[in-house]
């Protein structure tokens, strides 16, 4: 797992899930859970379980290139709506505390 990059990025990201940490920073879920328990014990992160809407696809909503045509807001909204499920499921949410802010490190 890219531990240093994770600690650098987390204060700039409003919230993450364990799946996202494993995907973007490498690592197995059990290793990440142990790390998170340690960070929680030190007061560096807050862990909560929240109901989150599942995302159906991993595709971007739209790709807009500089100088290219833009899409109407209604079409972007429709595409976004199609990517999200109506189902909610509990997920462990990770949020950094002020201890991880660059000013406090």
| Domain CATH for 78 | 1.10.10
Q: Report if residue 11 sits inside a domain.
A: yes
Q: Report if residue 104 sits inside a domain.
A: no
Q: Report if residue 105 sits inside a domain.
A: no
Q: Report if residue 83 sits inside a domain.
A: yes
With pLDDT > 70 as the criterion, what percentage of the chain qualifies?
Answer: 96
Q: How far apart are alpha carbons 60 and 62 in whole angstroms?
A: 5
Burial of 45 from C-beta contacts in 10 A (0-12 / 13-18 / 19+): buried
- pLDDT tens-digit profile of 36-86? 999 999 999 999 999 988 777 667 788 888 888 888 999 988 888 888 778
pLDDT at res. 37: 95
- What is the count of structural domains for the chain? 1
Contact call for residues 97 and 46 (beta carbons, < 8 A) = yes
pTM: 0.71
Pairing of strands 45-55, 84-96: antiparallel
Q: Report if residue 68 sits inside a domain.
A: yes
Q: Report if residue 71 sits inside a domain.
A: yes
| Structural domain harbouring 22 | 3-98
């Amino acid at each position: 797992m890219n531990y240093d990059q994770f600690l650098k990025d987390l204060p700039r990201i409003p919230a993450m899930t364990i799946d996202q940490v494993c995907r973007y920073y490498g690592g197995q879920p059990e290793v990440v859970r142990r790390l998170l328990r340690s960070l929680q014990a030190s007061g560096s992160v807050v862990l909560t379980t929240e109901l989150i809407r599942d995302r159906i696809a991993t595709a971007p909503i739209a790709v807009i290139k500089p100088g290219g045509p833009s899409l109407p807001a209604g079409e972007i909204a429709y595409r976004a709506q199609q990517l999200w499920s109506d189902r909610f499921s509990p997920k462990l949410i990770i949020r950094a505390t002020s201890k991880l802010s660059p000013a406090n490190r």
